[in-house]
Amino acid sequence: MIVADILMWFFLIVGFYVVFNSYWLATQGLFPSFVNQCREKIRIAPVRRFFFGLGLTVPIAGLGIVMLNAPKAWLKFFGAALLIILFLTGLCGATGIAAQIGMGLGKPEDESQSWRRVLRGGGVLGLTFILPLAGWFLVLPMTLMMGLGAAVIPGRTMEP
C-alpha cells in the first residue's frame, strides 16, 4: 500500500465522520423538538425502536434495490430517491441517539445549549463507526435503523 492509498482511506473516513456529525448538528439546529422526541423514544425503548426500524428498512430497501435494477430510467430514479430518503430519515432520527449519549456526557452549560450534547454525543457515536467490520456492518446499520424507528414510528415520549 502506498502513501496515496493510506491518505485516501484516511480522508474518506474523516469525511464520513464530519458529514455524519454535520447532519446531526443540522437536525438539532433545525428541528430541536423532533430530536428531543427521538431521544426520549430511544431512551425509553431502544430495542423496540431498532426492531421497528429493521421492519421498515428491509422491505423499503428491498423495493429501492429492485427499482434500481429496473430497465426504465424513471424507476431507477425513484429507487435511488427511496434509498436516499430512507438513509437520511435514519440519519436524522439517529440525532436522538447522539443527544442521548451526550446527555450521559453532560456539562452544566448543556441546559442552555442543547447542540453541545449532540456534538459531544455525535463525536463519540461517530468514533464507534470507525472500527472495521463491527463498526461498519453492525454499529452503523443498527444506529441508522434505530434512528429510523425513532423518527418514523409514533410512540410515547413520556414514561408511564
The answer to the question of residue 104 being in a domain is: yes
The answer to the question of residue 138 being in a domain is: yes
The answer to the question of residue 140 being in a domain is: yes
The answer to the question of residue 26 being in a domain is: no
Prediction pTM value: 0.88
The answer to the question of residue 30 being in a domain is: no
C-alpha cell at 125: 457515536
The answer to the question of residue 39 being in a domain is: no
The pLDDT assigned to 154 comes to: 74
The answer to the question of residue 4 being in a domain is: no
* Segments forming the whole domain that contains residue 143: 44-152
The answer to the question of residue 123 being in a domain is: yes
The pLDDT assigned to 160 comes to: 46
Residue 125: CB atoms within 10 Å: 24
* Contacts of 30 by beta carbon, 8 Å cutoff, 6+ apart: none
The pLDDT assigned to 20 comes to: 96
Quick check: 79 and 70 in contact, CB under 8 A? yes
Cα dihedral sign, 89-50-128-95: positive
The pLDDT assigned to 107 comes to: 79
Residue 78: CB atoms within 10 Å: 16
- Number of separate domains in the chain: 1
The pLDDT assigned to 158 comes to: 52
The pLDDT assigned to 113 comes to: 85
| pLDDT tens for the chain, residues 1 to 160 | 799 999 999 999 999 999 999 999 999 999 999 999 999 999 999 999 999 999 999 999 999 999 999 999 999 999 999 999 999 999 999 999 999 999 988 777 777 788 999 999 999 999 999 988 999 999 999 999 999 999 998 766 555 4
